[in-house]
Structure formats: structure tokens, C-alpha cells
Amino acid sequence: MLAVCAGCGDRWFEAGSLESAITNDQFTSWQQPSEWSQWRGGVLGGVVDDRPLPTEWRAGEGLLWEVEIPGRGNSSPVVVGDGVLLTSEVSTAAGDELAVICIDRFDGSQRWLTNVAMTRGRTHQKNGFASATVASDGERVFAGFGAAGLFCLNMAGELVWKAELPGDGHQWGSASSPVLFAGLVIQLAESPSESWLLAFDARTGREVWRTHRESRGCWTTPVLMERGASGGGDWQLVVNGTSSDNGQAGFVIAYEPSTGRELWRARGTSDIVCPTAIVADDQVISVSNNAVFAVGADGLGDVTTSHVRWRLPSGGAYVPSGVFYRNRIYLITDGGVVTCHRPDSGETLWRKRFRGTFSASLVAGDGKLYAVSEQGDVQVFEAGDEFVSLATNRFNDRCLATPAISSGQFLVRGESRLYCIGSAGDQRIADARPISADGAVPSPSDRQQPLEDAKATPNDAGGISQNDNL
């Protein structure tokens, strides 16, 4: 069935007949997950504020376990029950394959590794083929690998279904993670030839709806937010940006997640968009390579002139996403400039530059924010209207992946290892058993040298270094 979006010109979406087990009641009663079970947690905001979190750690103190991860990947860890899930590109006798990995969250031992497909298409050397983070509903694991497809596994690592994604991929690869909503798996699939936002039945893999997008490549992950009583449904799905390949400003667009119908759009994003939009109460903060602006999220149609509340001329990131935490917006640029803003006006309250470069997004909890540099430094600072540094912790590893927070613990993926930091509580602690893959993949540091101002350089041993309290 084709439908035209009211107020959106000739843009259209195609809705399935919903012959799956998904019901309207599931859409209206859906509640956000409590675990860090998909990209940046529950509704993809990067915040968990339920218990104390570690501030500083050093060799022999605070590190519960570390374990070697086979292959290469920039995907973030997610936590479901007593398992940690992530993806990787591994070399086997057959060639480079895409894998989903489950690690025991208590001791770091590998539970299973499932190769689901061969790598397909092209990618940027820094991006790789395993940059999208998995999502899990507690019964299944969903992994998006761009041109290779969307895969569903059970919690034992067995393949349940695979869905082909439209388009022929992008020369820089893909990075958009699947998003879960009320029995649906929603996946952004963009390429220069065609771009779509699609939803699949999580249980069967059947396509439920698809919405065409006027974009030639976008690396963002959609974010969920409550829409309120203004119409269009209780929830909306916001995609930060469209790409024209000609330098024109793109749009941040909101969709109804149950149908794919476009709700509103606002122009102002850069031509290449990676960060996930930030939900700040009743507004969306769009960040993309200098461009930063706030949109009231209760409109319909093109709301560029009616609902854009403020804009900043600079300060947006190319890759890392910011957070909205304790009524403040925190942003970090690829060059390490972190800023704090008022959500109602965009006013900058403070600005600080960290040493190094940054691809990982900010995460927050327990009154603290964490910024992980590519060189392996973890800056910990207070949430507040003045900048207060709490600690600088160092890994002897290159870090591009966004960390995860779960049960008072902080999980960081390095170039070759996964680290668990925090308090053991009543959990079992044991030395993690190293994991090896069939063959080896080239290290990203073999292709791109760390910057000269790096405080830590990757080494074969991994591990953490002495921390600096500032």
C-alpha cells in the first residue's frame, strides 16, 4: 500500500498489512527498555542514572576484566542480562566475515561467536564493516551490516532470519544501528542509488513498512522520543539529516514508528551526518559538522520557520553524539572541544578542550559525563554549569567505539580488547580468557597512525595505565 504524507509534498511511504503478530496495543503501550540493550541505551540517549558509577581506575584497581576481541569493529557493546553483545569483522579461511559475539559480562569469557555473512561493498578505512551496534529484545539479537543485510540471531547465537536491505551501499560503508520499537526492528539503509527507512517484524523478519528518503548517504542512527498529546501517535522516530552530495543543507525528519509516516521536518543539517539527534524534553537537538539547532517536536509538515527555536553558528561534531543530562546539553567535537548549553536558548555555559581526537559519543550517569578519546584517554567530568574535571583514565588501546553503562559498570571497547570497569558487587570475578579468531585482521593503527599528541599508544598487551586526577 502506498500512502502520501500529508503536508510533505510527494514524499511517500509503503505500509505492510501488519499480518504479523504485532498489534496496535503493542504500539500504544510500548515502554522504553531499562537495559543498555541497543545503541546508547534504552531510547538511545546515552544516559543511565540508576546507581553509582566509577570515576577513576588504574592498573590493578577497578578493572574487573579485560578480554581480547577477535577481528576489528567500532560497534559499541550492549548488555542484556548476563551477556555483552557486539559485532566484528574477522578473517577466516573463507575471507573477511561479519560476526556477532557474546561475552559473559561477569568474567569476560566468550560464550559464542557466529559468522553471519561475508563482507560486502566498500567502506572507509576508519569505519570498517562492523560499526553498527546490535540491538536486543532479550530473546533475539539484531545486527545490521549495511549492504550485507540485517540479521536476527537467538540468544544462543543461532541465525533466525536475514533481511536484505535495498541499495548498493556507500563507498564509506554504513554505521546506522537497528532500533527496536514495540515488536519492530527499524533500520536506516542509505546509499547514493536509493535510501529507505524500513521496519521489520522482530519475530519473523517480515517487512512491515518502508519509507523513501531523499538522501544519498547518512550514517546516523534514529532516536525515539515521546510525542505527547499533539497528534500523530505517542512516539516518534527522529532521523538526523539527509545528504544531497552537493553541499545543500539537509533535514532532520520525524516519523511515526508504527507506520513510517513522516510527521515533520526541519532544514539545517550539514550535507554529511553521523551524530544521533539529542532528545531534550519536548525538542530535538540536531548536531552535524558545525550545525547545531533545536526543533520543537510537536509540529506537522515542514516546520523550519515555525518550530526551530534556536541555532548555533558552530560547535557541532562530525562523528560523536552529545547528550541531554540534568537539564543541560553537552556536546563534543571530533577535535575534543566539549561544551555545555542551556536547552531553552542554546547559550554556551562553558567550553573546554581535551587532548586528542574523538569518535566515541558522550555518555552520562551518576552526575558525571565520560568522554573517550581515540588515543585511549577517558575524561570524567561533573555535570553542571561550571567545568569540573574528576579524573583522566588511560587505556593502552585505541578507542573509537562509544562505551556502555550497565549495573554500575562501564564497558569500553578498544581496538582489540573489551574492558569492564566498576565495582564487582555480588558478581563473580575471574581472569578473562583470551579469545582468538581464525587468522588475523590488519590493525586500524597499521593503516592510520595515532596523532602526535596522543597520551597513550596501542600495544600488543592491552591493559590500562596509571590515571591522572586533575
Alpha helices (H) along 159-251: none
Flag the least confident range among 83-92, 167-176, 361-370, 381-390. 167-176
Q: What DSSP character marks residue 242? A: -
- Over residues 387-415, the mean pLDDT reads 96
210-259: per-residue pLDDT in tens? 999 987 777 889 999 987 644 445 899 999 977 666 667 889 999 999 99
State yes or no: pLDDT of 379 exceeds 50.
yes
Q: Mean of the per-residue pLDDT values for the chain?
A: 83
Are 201 and 152 within 8 A, CB to CB? no
Are 258 and 182 within 8 A, CB to CB? yes
State yes or no: pLDDT of 428 exceeds 90.
no
DSSP per position, 275-309 = SPPEEETTEEEEEETTEEEEEETT--EE-HHHHEE
- Block residue for cell numbers 564487582: 424
Beta bridge partners of 420: 65, 411
Three-class DSSP category at 267: strand
Report the range out of 9-23, 131-145, 191-205 with the highest average pLDDT: 131-145
If one compares 271 and 440, the residue with the highest pLDDT of the two is 271
Here the cell at position 81 is 542480562
- Mode of pairing for the β-strands spanning 301-302 and 262-269: parallel
Indicate the residue type of 21: A
Domains for the chain: give ranges and CATH numbers.
2-429+448-468 (2.130.10.10)
